[in-house]
Amino acid sequence: MQIPTATGLIYEAAMATGTVATPRKNIAYTQIETVDVADSYCWLCGGDTNGQGVPTKKAIKPTFTDHPYARGQGSQSICTGCAFCLSRREMRNYSILASPAELQHPSRAEWREILLDPPNPPFVCCLAVSGQKHLTFKAPVNVDRQRFTVMLEEQPIHVSPKKLEHLLDMVEELYVYFTKNEIITGNYSQHRIKECGIRQWGELEGMLEFWRGRPLFELALFVAQKKEKPEVKPVEPLPTVDCCGKGEDKAPAEQLTLNGL
Ligand SMILES: [Zn+2]
């Protein structure tokens, strides 16, 4: 399989899809106007121009600040894919999932499912956080569904769906009670620890500690979805302890304090 460039794949996906639905509006993508160019490779992505593209003078606006990412210094041409991605504001404003058959602008909830079950390769994943930055030409093209790299804003994050699922299980258990900020910083409010149950919180937090600060943890938090709080179980009355010591195996509920947390 010949691996396309990220912007080339995104352009191909956009043309195959035509109109992409988002919760707010439908976005129609049409072909970009190109001209014959002399350079064989693209100034921005370094990919083949195939003799078609847009001169850098026209495609690169004065506000462009990503010059260090240019892989084809020396060329004065931008390939069709890069020219398309630079010309459409939606390519910065929305997250992008591109495969040859389809372009999508997924929500965080949709990303959660996509990252656990990605499309057939090749595919590109850009998760926009600010909606202001160019991510398209910074993203790698993925060719493996079990090991791939996504852009979370400008940070490339290597994903194994199995590891991500394991992390999501823990993060979403905590997210029932805590805010994402508490989970990412490890600074938990004491009253919410009580509500979660100190034992459950301690077990989950003990396992998550290893992941805190790692990029995959950040990605899991970004896509984590809120689950319903479980119904509060009625407190069972303590068993009556008689003089013969029956019921000793059922000790009163452990007294737990939050001191020192
Ligand atoms: Zn290019």
Residues 95 and 203 in one domain: no
Residues 46 and 153 in one domain: yes
Do the domain assignments include residue 192? yes
Q: Give me the pLDDT at residue 7, please.
A: 98
**Is 95 in contact with 110 (CB distance < 8 Å)?**
no
Res 165 pLDDT > 60: yes
Q: Work out how many domains the chain is built from and give that number.
A: 2
Residues 178 and 142 in one domain: no
2 CA to middle of ligand 1, Å?
Answer: 16
Angle at 233 between CA 230 and CA 235, to 5 degrees: 155
47 CA to middle of ligand 1, Å?
Answer: 5
Q: Residue 225: what are its φ and ψ, rounded to 5°?
A: -115, 150
Do the domain assignments include residue 134? yes
Q: Give me the pLDDT at residue 240, please.
A: 62
- Tens-place pLDDT, residues 113-148: 999 999 999 999 999 999 999 999 999 999 999 999
Q: Give me the pLDDT at residue 257, please.
A: 41
For residue 48, give its domain range. Answer: 6-160
Residues 177 and 155 in one domain: no
Global confidence as pTM: 0.86
Instruction: Name the percent of the chain lying above pLDDT 70.
Output: 88
Residues 65 and 132 in one domain: yes
Residues 166 and 38 in one domain: no
Phi and psi based region of residue 45 (left: phi greater than 0; alpha: psi -120 to 50; beta: remaining): alpha
- Tens-place pLDDT, residues 55-67: 999 999 999 999 9
Res 254 pLDDT > 90: no
Q: Helix crossing, 108-116 with 215-223: angle to 10°?
A: 130
Res 232 pLDDT > 80: no
42 CA to middle of ligand 1, Å?
Answer: 5
82 CA to middle of ligand 1, Å?
Answer: 4
Do the domain assignments include residue 241? no
45 CA to middle of ligand 1, Å?
Answer: 4
70 CA to middle of ligand 1, Å?
Answer: 9
157 CA to middle of ligand 1, Å?
Answer: 22
Residues 87 and 166 in one domain: no
9 CA to middle of ligand 1, Å?
Answer: 11
Gap between the terminal Cα atoms of the chain: 54
19 forms beta bridges with 28
Residues 122 and 177 in one domain: no
Burial of 250 (0-12, 13-18, 19+ CB in 10 A): exposed
Cis before 122? omega within 30:
yes
Do the domain assignments include residue 246? no
27 CA to middle of ligand 1, Å?
Answer: 23
Q: What is the C-alpha to C-alpha distance for residues 258 and 190, in angstroms, rounded to an integer? A: 7
